[in-house]
Structures are given as C-alpha cells and as structure tokens.
C-alpha cells in the first residue's frame, strides 16, 4: 500500500552532487516512471518575473544576466557562500516549487501510462520530500568520480564540491535512510541493469510486476 492511498509508488532519488541522479532518473523514465525534477522546477521559478523582481530587489543588478533576467550561476555562488541568504532563497522558492510538484504528481497519478512517480531532488531529505515517498533510491558514486564530474561538467574549482555538500546532510545518513541503492562507478550498461532490478523490486513491493 502506498502513502496517501495512491495507486502508484512515489520514489525519491538521493545521492551526492555529481553522483548521476539525473542519469538514473532518465533510465527510470524509459521504464515508465514520471520524473519530477526539483532542479527543473527551480529553473522555472527563477525564470518567473515575480521571482526575478524579488531577487533583484534583494541583491541588486549584480545578479542580472545579459538578457536582463537573473543569472542562476551568480545566485548559486551567492547563496552557497552565505547560509542566511540560502535559507532566504529557499523560503521564497520552496513553496512555489511544492505547488508545481503537487500538480505534476496529480497529473502522473491520473495517467494510466505512468507506473511510478520519481522525485529527483538534491535536497530530498533536507526539504522533507522523503516524507512523500514510498521508497528511496540512493545513487552511490565514488567521491573522486563525483569530484571529476563536478570540475569537468560544472566547471567548479577544486574544493567547491566539498563546500556545497557541507550545506547538505551527510552522505552516510542519506545512504542509511535509503531503501535501495545503485552503484554508479562503472558503465552505463551496468547502471541500467541495476536500475532495472530496483524498478522491478519497487513495483513488486507495491503489488505490481515490472
């Protein structure tokens, strides 16, 4: 039985920065899951005129992008260096993101083609989203791999990964609170096979065959 009497299990994705949660989410989507990405919802909110006006009112023109909007990278750098500003931003965005998420979850619940609802969020536990989940998958990836991806793909300076993760719950705690784990230290084929097994296991837990 799922929480809140839903007909489909809600699964949370957790893991460190650069662990490959988005890749796992993509595989789950291929298998029939509806993926709701907090990062995507965050991007939508940061693009809204109301939010942009508020942020520029707080922090001035220094966060403007060349097109006159808000530069996400500048906002990110600002808040990750100042906990009070990070909490301030979260207080603004999280209720708006939650409202969008609720609509998407209801749509997925009503869609007969959807077999599972996946919440892909970097702050799954910190934001209390695990309370919405019937099961949590932890994406376990070696720190050196995550560090390399962050520096190569995100162009972060050495030490930036650790600095940002220090503002989140410890990975050991997230790992311990997960119901399932996949290792993302090898090939994409290996990862897909693991995700397929977990997908089937979660459906079986809630009375459905993969």
In the prediction, which pLDDT does 89 show?
Answer: 94
Determine the Cα–Cα distance for residues 159 and 13; give it in Å rounded to an integer: 24
In the prediction, which pLDDT does 139 show?
Answer: 97
Return per-residue pLDDT of the chain as tens, 210 residues. Answer: 566 677 899 999 999 988 999 999 999 999 999 999 999 999 999 999 999 999 999 999 999 999 888 999 899 888 887 889 989 999 999 999 999 999 999 999 999 999 999 999 988 999 899 999 999 999 999 989 988 888 887 878 888 878 778 778 899 999 999 999 999 999 999 999 999 999 999 999 987 665
In the prediction, which pLDDT does 160 show?
Answer: 81
Determine the Cα–Cα distance for residues 27 and 62; give it in Å rounded to an integer: 38
In the prediction, which pLDDT does 5 show?
Answer: 74
In the prediction, which pLDDT does 103 show?
Answer: 98
In the prediction, which pLDDT does 102 show?
Answer: 96
In the prediction, which pLDDT does 1 show?
Answer: 55
- The CA-CA-CA angle for residues 116, 175, 87, to 5°, reads 85
| Secondary structure of 29-71 in HEC code, one letter for each residue | HHCCEEEEEHHHHHHHHHCCHHHHHHHHHHHHHHHECCCCCEC
In the prediction, which pLDDT does 114 show?
Answer: 97
Kindly report the pTM of this predicted structure: 0.89
In the prediction, which pLDDT does 210 show?
Answer: 58
Determine the Cα–Cα distance for residues 195 and 149; give it in Å rounded to an integer: 21
Q: What domains can you pick out in the chain, each with its CATH number?
A: 3-205 (3.40.50.300)
Report DSSP letters for the chain, one per residue.
--GGG-SS-EEEEEE-TTS-HHHHHHHHHHTTEEEEEHHHHHHHHHTSHHHHHHHHHHHGGGGB-TTSSB-HHHHHHHHHT-HHHHHHHHHHHHHHHHHHHHHHHHHHHH-TT--EEEEE-TTTTTTTGGGG-SEEEEEE--HHHHHHHHHHHS-PPTTHHHHHHTTS--HHHHHHH-SEEEE-SS-HHHHHHHHHHHHHHHHHHTT---
Phi, psi of 147, deg, nearest 5: -65, -45
């Amino acid at each position: 039985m799922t929480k809140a009497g839903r007909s489909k299990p809600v699964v949370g994705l957790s893991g460190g920065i650069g662990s490959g949660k988005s890749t796992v989410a993509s595989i789950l989507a291929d298998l029939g899951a509806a993926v709701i990405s907090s990062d995507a919802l965050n991007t939508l909110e940061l693009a809204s005129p109301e939010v942009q006006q508020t942020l520029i009112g707080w922090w001035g023109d220094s966060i403007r992008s060349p097109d006159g909007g808000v530069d996400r990278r500048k906002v990110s750098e600002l808040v990750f260096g100042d906990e009070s500003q990070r909490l301030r931003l979260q207080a603004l965005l999280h209720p708006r993101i939650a409202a969008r998420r609720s609509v998407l979850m209801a749509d997925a619940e009503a869609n007969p083609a959807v077999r599972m609802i996946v919440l892909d969020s970097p702050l799954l536990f910190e934001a209390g989203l695990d309370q919405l989940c019937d099961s949590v998958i932890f994406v376990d990836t070696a720190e050196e791999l995550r560090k390399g991806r962050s520096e190569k793909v995100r162009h972060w300076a050495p030490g930036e990964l650790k600095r940002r993760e220090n503002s989140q719950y410890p990975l050991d705690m997230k790992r311990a609170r997960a119901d399932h784990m996949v290792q993302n230290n090898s090939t994409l084929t290996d990862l897909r096979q693991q995700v397929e097994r977990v997908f089937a296991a979660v459906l079986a837990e809630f009375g459905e065959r993969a």
